[in-house]
């Protein structure tokens, strides 16, 4: 992005120094600088995300930032001089691949009889259990047990 984002009186306008974006989002991300400063010395930057499509499987990426930082430092210390931006990009990419892991999980498939009322009862049961554990009063435990019996009966009748 080579549009000016900061204006100071009497000085040259400044560019955006650094933008950090996840590799998964980079191809779906678009940055736009507004020319209206809204009475500020900075131009607002609009970030647009698009073209994600529908996914049925949830994929998550995690990176160990400490390990990534150590590997980058080791690679840069071992190389005498980085000749080009492409070589530096390759070093960053190889370190990010080696220090990150991905996993996917499918959404839970409920039985055909499972409906919105069952979801409500399940959430209510969790909330009552949380309340009973936080405030161990006999009335809280009895409310949790009563809800458990009601939920079981509804699950069996469905």
pLDDT digits (tens, 9 = 90+) for 57-76: 666 777 888 888 888 888 87
Cα 141 to the center of its chain, rounded Å = 36
- Report the pLDDT averaged over residues 112-120: 80
Nearest-10 crossing angle of helices 138-157, 116-134: 160
| Maximum mean pLDDT: which of 65-69, 105-109, 139-143 | 139-143
Asked if the model's pLDDT at residue 17 lies above 60, the reply is no
Q: Is the dihedral of CA 65, 67, 68, 70 positive or negative?
A: positive
Q: Is 25 within 8 Å of 55 (Cβ atoms)?
A: no
| Predicted local confidence at residue 20, as pLDDT | 67
The C-alpha atoms of residue 23 and residue 49 are separated, in whole angstroms, by 13
- Name the nearest CA neighbour of 155 among 108, 122, 107, 106: 122
Residue spans of the domains in the chain: they are: 1-52, 58-105, 112-157
**CA dist 45 → 29, 58, 60, 71, 113 (Å):** 12, 29, 27, 32, 48
pLDDT, position 14:
63
pTM: 0.32
Burial of residue 95 (CB within 10 Å: 0-12, 13-18, 19+) is buried
pLDDT band with cut points at 50, 70 and 90 for residue 131 = very high
For residue range 35-61, list pLDDT tens digits in order.
776 666 677 777 777 765 555 566 677
């Amino acid at each position: 992005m080579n549009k000016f984002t900061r204006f100071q009186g009497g000085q040259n306008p400044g560019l955006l120094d650094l933008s950090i974006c996840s590799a998964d989002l980079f191809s779906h991300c678009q940055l736009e600088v507004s020319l209206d400063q809204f009475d500020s010395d900075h131009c607002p930057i609009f970030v647009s995300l698009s073209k994600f499509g529908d996914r049925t499987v949830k994929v998550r990426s995690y990176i160990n930032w400490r390990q990534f930082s150590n590997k980058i430092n080791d690679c840069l210390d071992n190389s005498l001089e980085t000749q080009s931006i492409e070589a530096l990009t390759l070093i960053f990419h190889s370190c990010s691949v080696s220090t990150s892991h991905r996993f996917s999980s499918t959404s839970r498939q409920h039985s055909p009889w499972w409906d919105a009322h069952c979801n409500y009862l399940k959430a209510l049961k969790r909330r009552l259990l949380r309340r009973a554990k936080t405030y161990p009063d006999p009335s809280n435990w009895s409310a949790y047990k009563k809800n458990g019996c009601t939920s079981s009966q509804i699950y069996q009748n469905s």
